[in-house]
Structure 1
Amino acid sequence: MDFWATVTVLFRRWYVTVPAFLLTVAAALGVYAVAPKTFVSTSALVLTLPVTGGSLPSDPKFPNPRTNPLVSFDQGLSMTSSILIQALNTPRAAAEAGVPPGGEVTLKVTSGGTNPELMPATPFIVITCEAPSAEQARSIVVKVTELAARELRARQQQVKAPPATYVSATVVVPPTEPDEKKGSRMRSAVVTGALAFFVSLFAAFAAESFARHRLARRRTRAASAPLETAASNGARSPAGHEG
């Protein structure tokens, strides 16, 4: 069936199409209204070396030159950030940050790339949390940001690094005010609307098929009625002649 034939059926069966269309709109609005809201908050840290570098001078009389930590990045910081990201993505870290079990809250700690498995060589740590409430999303990001600094210090203490060479986690983007993520709710409404539209289209064609079937039965009965009348008259005429 071509496009215009379909449009003709929809207009012909308007008493089915219009209620179905209204139900489609109501269903889409209902899904959008009841779909759970999701709020997103993020923060970003960068690992920096102390101004005297990452090593102690062998001779105290000739200390290491003081440098700007923001221009002294090296591959060591990238490796440190990768280790820290792995530690912050564990269930233990999530539980310590207050992430409840069940999957309603999503916590991601990456180096800034879209694929956390690639681990690009950067000294950045990006923390993102999606939660049902704005307060919960920001609270978890704040806790993970603080946990990152504590975890970084604990790792350096574990390897017995000199305190003067400790790497610092500098917050470059503080935990942001949570924004509502409307994409998932909108997608749910669109999918529901599309599904309801196809259901209404099916209902219109079902009504058309039913109407055609009834019309065909009426025509068949109308065509067979004269034949049945003639047959009944023919069956009675001999009896009347003999009488």
Structure 2
Amino acid sequence: MDFWSTIRVLLRRWYIALPIFVVSLGLAGGVYLSVSTQYESTGTVVLTSPASGARVPAGEVPTGEKVNPLLAFDGSLTTSAQIIIQSLKDPAVAKQFDGVEYEVGDGQLSGPFVVVTVTAPSAEAAQRTVAGLLERARQELTARQESLQAPESTYIRADPVISPTPAEALVGGKVRFAAVALVLGFIACLTAAYGYESFSQRRRPGKAGAVPDRLPRARDAGPVGARR
């Protein structure tokens, strides 16, 4: 059926469609209220090399010239940022922040950036987790340079670019779930209205092709033979 035929059916069977639609609205509202609100916070750091460079002159250390291995090649800061990103994605690290969801990446930025985005059941938990992950990134960076025995004066640093942002409520997921419930309810409304309409049409008497209740009597049909 076309649009106007649908409208006519709904108007004719309003006493069936309206209650189902009201129930659908209630169901959508219930779904919206039952889905918990999630909160999102983000933070960003950038890796920077020391002003003194990647090397310590031979005269300043007893063992001769020392270099930070993480700064000994082209694109070293970007590579170090990727190392930190992958370390934060480690399941062992994720287990320490259980109960929240987070993403770590470069934020599609050009440079050695580490971007952390956290989704949590509360605003406080979201901001706290972002701060914890950024601090974990700094600790991981320091630990790797210590294990490589890099001179402390050549350490790469993780400087803040964006501190953990105030967490914002994410209502998009709740709206989507409520919209799905409303659409399903509307489909049920149309199905019920059309179903009752079809049932009523089948029960309606006087359709073309129906067999009469009784045949006409013989005298009504006229004389069989011609009159003389």
Q: Which of the five TM-score ranges fits, normalised by the shorter chain?
A: 0.7 to 0.9
State the shift of 1:197 in Å: 0.9
Map 1:5-20; keep pairs closer than 5 Å: 5-20=5-20
Q: Which residue of 2 aligns with 1:112?
A: 107
Query: How far apart, CA to CA, are the structure 2 residues paired with 1:180 and 1:168?
Result: 32
Query: How far apart, CA to CA, are the structure 2 residues paired with 1:148 and 1:162?
Result: 19
Query: How far apart, CA to CA, are the structure 1 residues paired with 2:130 and 2:75?
Result: 26
Aligned residue for 1:84, secondary structure, equals: helix
Match of 1:162 among 144, 151, 155: 151
Match of 1:195 among 169, 184, 199: 184
2:54 paired with 1:51: no
Q: Which residue of 2 aligns with 1:33?
A: 33
Query: How far apart, CA to CA, are the structure 2 residues paired with 1:16 and 1:151?
Result: 64
Aligned residue for 1:51, secondary structure, equals: coil
Query: How far apart, CA to CA, are the structure 2 residues paired with 1:95 and 1:224?
Result: 77
Map 1:1-243; keep pairs closer than 5 Å: 1-58=1-58, 75-96=75-96, 98-100=97-99, 105-113=100-108, 122-216=111-205, 219=206, 226-227=213-214
State the shift of 1:148 in Å: 0.8
Query: How far apart, CA to CA, are the structure 2 residues paired with 1:59 and 1:211?
Result: 101
Task: Write the deviation string for residues 174-226 of structure 1: whole angstroms up to 9, x where unpaired.
Answer: 1111111111111111111111111111111011112212224xx48xx7785
Query: How far apart, CA to CA, are the structure 2 residues paired with 1:41 and 1:112?
Result: 14
Query: How far apart, CA to CA, are the structure 2 residues paired with 1:79 and 1:123?
Result: 8
Query: How far apart, CA to CA, are the structure 2 residues paired with 1:226 and 1:43?
Result: 84
Q: Which moved more, 1:166-175 or 1:49-58?
A: 49-58
Opposite residue 40 of structure 1, the aligned amino acid is E
Which has the larger helix fraction? 1
Opposite residue 182 of structure 2, the aligned amino acid is G
Q: Which residue of 2 aligns with 1:70?
A: none
Contact 1:39 1:137 in 2 (8 A): yes
Contact 1:79 1:121 in 2 (8 A): no
Opposite residue 141 of structure 1, the aligned amino acid is V
Q: What is the TM-score normalised by the length of structure 2?
A: 0.81
Aligned residue for 2:37, secondary structure, equals: coil
Query: How far apart, CA to CA, are the structure 2 residues paired with 1:133 and 1:33?
Result: 16
Q: What is the TM-score normalised by the length of structure 1?
A: 0.76
Q: Which residue of 2 aligns with 1:63?
A: none
Q: Which runs of 4+ in 1 moved over 4 A?
A: 223-226
The alignment yields a C-alpha RMSD, in angstroms, of: 2.1
State the shift of 1:95 in Å: 2.4
Task: Write the deviation string for residues 38-89 of structure 1: whole angstroms up to 9, x where unpaired.
Answer: 11111100101111122223455xxxxxxxxxxxxx6110000000000001
Which structure 1 segments of 5+ residues have no match?
61-73, 114-119, 231-243
Q: Which moved more, 1:75-84 or 1:126-135?
A: 126-135
Opposite residue 42 of structure 1, the aligned amino acid is T
